[in-house]
Amino acid sequence: MTGDAWWSATKKASLYLVLCIVTLTVCFPLIWALSTSLKPKSEIFATPPTLIPHSTTLENYEALLGGRQQYYQSGGASQAMGPTPAQFFTRWFVNSVIVTLGSTLISIVVSTLAAYSLTRFRYWGRSVIPYFSLLGYMMPSIIFVFPLFLMMVRLELTDNLLSLVFGYVCITLPFCMWLMWAFMRSIPIEIEEAALIDGASRYQVFAQVVLPTALPGIIAASIFSIIVSWNDYLFGRVFINSLDNLTLTVGVMLFFEGTHVDWGLLMAASVLMTVPMAILFMALQRHLVAGFGAGAVKG
Amino acid sequence: MSRFSFLSSDRAVGLLFIAPFVVTALVFMVYPIAEAIRMAFFNYNPLRPDLVSYAGMSNFEFIFSDPLFWSSFGQGTVWTLLSILFQTVFGVGIALLLHRKLFGMAIFRGMLLFPYIVPTVVIALIWRWIFNPEIGVVNYGLLSVGLIGEPIYWLSTPTMAMASTIMLNVWKYTPFVVICVLARLQSVPLELYDAAKVDGAGAFRRFLDVTLPQLREVLIVVIVFRTIWTFNKFEEIYLLTKGGPGTSTFNLAVYSFEQSMASLRLGVGAATGVVMMIMLMIGSVVYLRVAGFGNEEKEA
């Protein structure tokens, strides 16, 4: 091997080493959570702690998905103490899915129609609305949450999943609008003109020409909207007050109430809450990066 | 005018398509903001909606004379500045590391961007578990390699609680910086590096003289955006420490929430929100000037 080749191989190896160290450090909290969630009660508090469990168990996942009725004491004996958070886990999960998809659907439909209108028609205000949206997505939700809550009280929608759908629309619509606007602007208008000349109506053009072309933008906006809605704690905390109607984020924080924190159960809940986002992320990573490129991200 | 001609008239189609947005935005964005500003001038107890009374400037007088408001402001500023500093440094570092064509890079990239999509509640739970003073793995690790002599109380001493929330925030949002910087790096012309190499510049000099100037614009935009968002963050602090121990990790968002939710002074909470909005407007003006400045440069 020549000196140069040896040198570049060493460089490559050290680069991989650095990458592995950085990646492992970054991912360690997640790996540790997964490991804890798979450990039996006796091993969770073992010293020295084990990264790869000696014996794995799915009991934490079974407790959450099967709705376990009892709290476990550290000795392994069980004792009834009123409703347990585990009982509600699947229900909260479904609630979270409903409000996330509901608000995303509204935001996407509204912003796609609006972005088309703003980039294809001329009327007063068309240049102001995108910047208004930009301002809207800088707004922290803490400013919206109480006025919206009082509005929901008047509409008698408190403790109703619909209130959360509306609340999430308020935080997801501005950046969906901004992203769709940026995306629609980049779609050349000539294809539509050709279709119009061929005798297609505006609606046919929109449905058959514009929507398919805008699909990557729609996917990117949907991912961001789903991430933001799934992540929300504040609106759920303020708008909802019955155990039945909570979302995952607020519900899972209730695991801390009571005398004894069941870390295995909590970590299993954390893993289950992250899995839908992980699947989405893996399937659509490319679009996520494209969305960042368009400058429409909330964080 | 017949129904058909109304629907097929182009101008009408345009207005029809924008209408849902205008209605939604008026109801769910403009109205709440206007209401938040109005509430700042009223005494408002959510349990007694019948007892709303005009308060003039008294809510603002209350917060400006409240030491907790000012310490929240100060703590929020420290939290923001340190978070942004670390996010930027780590973000640029990781982006440079990832900006190579190597086998398996997609996997590394995916794993390093992953924290961005992990829900804040989940991160807060994991943080509370691994930073637990008695049974947490972080203290165990530090103790066993001898870096510390006794357990660190990560979440129950003011300085360490602040450090923990900063770590949480940096962990979750560094990927944001990475993606933005990575996107920019991909458009840096390679000839610039070749020219620098010919001139005999080492790797570090090439970073300082070639890469960094190219990243200047995107970094300014990212830093302004992140500063505005980070300053107003609520969940990243509240879920981990509830603003504690005591009030040592309060920022303005937590202060506003506690005034509204725990003390039932919605007016005071709203006044805090108005102060946050004013600072946000200043930040946005800075952003628009920066962005505008960038555009002029591009056109020239």
Overall average pLDDT of the A226-231 stretch:
94
In this prediction, residue B68 carries a pLDDT of: 95
Query: Quick check: A67 pLDDT over 50?
Result: yes
Chain A contact set for B291 (CB, 8 A): none
CATH topology of domain B58-290: MetI-like fold (1.10.3720)
Nearest to B122 among A144, A149, A270 (CB): A270
Answer whether B240 touches A (CB < 8 Å). no
Residue bearing the bigger pLDDT, B271 or A293: B271
Q: A129 to chain B, minimum CA–CA distance in Å?
A: 9
Complex ipTM: 0.89
Cβ contacts from A onto B, under 8 A: 233
| Cα angle, residue B137 at apex, residues B132 and B139 outer, rounded to 5° | 70
Nearest to B119 among A149, A177, A273 (CB): A273
The CA–CA distances, whole Å, from B247 to B77, B125, B258 equal 15, 20, 11
Q: Mark yes or no for CB contact B114/A27 under 8 Å.
A: yes
Nearest to A117 among B17, B24, B94 (CB): B17
At residue A157, φ and ψ (nearest 5 deg) are -110, 5
Question: In this predicted model, what pLDDT tens digit does every residue of B147-204 receive, in sequence order?
Answer: 888 889 999 999 999 999 999 999 999 999 998 898 888 877 878 878 888 888 787 8
Closest among B96, B92, B73, B74 to B84, alpha carbons compared: B92
Amino acid code (one letter) for B102: L
Question: In this predicted model, what pLDDT tens digit does every residue of A159-217 receive, in sequence order?
Answer: 999 999 999 999 999 989 988 998 888 888 888 888 888 888 888 888 888 899 888 88
Overall average pLDDT of the A129-154 stretch:
88
Helix axes B212-231, B67-98, angle to 10 degrees: 150
Q: Which CATH class is domain A87-294?
A: mainly alpha
Map out the domains of chain B as residue ranges. Answer: 58-290
Amino acid code (one letter) for B38: R
Q: Mark yes or no for CB contact A148/B28 under 8 Å.
A: yes
Q: Phi-psi category of A83—alpha, beta or left, where left has phi over 0 and alpha has psi -120 to 50?
A: beta
pTM of the model: 0.89
Q: Mark yes or no for CB contact A48/B144 under 8 Å.
A: yes
A211 within 8 A of A154, measured Cβ to Cβ: no
A18 within 8 A of A6, measured Cβ to Cβ: no
pLDDT band, residue A258 (cuts 50/70/90): low
Q: Mark yes or no for CB contact B129/A45 under 8 Å.
A: no
At residue A158, φ and ψ (nearest 5 deg) are -65, 155
Spatial separation of the C-alpha atoms in residues B293 and B220, rounded to whole Å: 11
Residues 6+ apart with CB under 8 A from B162: B75, B78, B79, B248, B249
With 0-12 CB in 10 A as exposed, 13-18 as middle and 19+ as buried, what is B220? middle
Q: B90 to chain A, minimum CA–CA distance in Å?
A: 10
Map out the domains of chain A as residue ranges. Answer: 2-57, 87-294
Overall average pLDDT of the A89-102 stretch:
96
Spatial separation of the C-alpha atoms in residues A264 and A1, rounded to whole Å: 52
Chain A contact set for B137 (CB, 8 A): 32, 49
With 0-12 CB in 10 A as exposed, 13-18 as middle and 19+ as buried, what is B183? middle
> What is the percentage of chain B residues whose pLDDT exceeds 70?
93
In this prediction, residue B297 carries a pLDDT of: 41
The secondary structure of residue A79, as a DSSP letter, is: E
Tokens linked to A296: 């429409």
Question: In this predicted model, what pLDDT tens digit does every residue of A262-299 receive, in sequence order?
Answer: 899 999 999 999 999 999 988 887 776 666 655 545 55
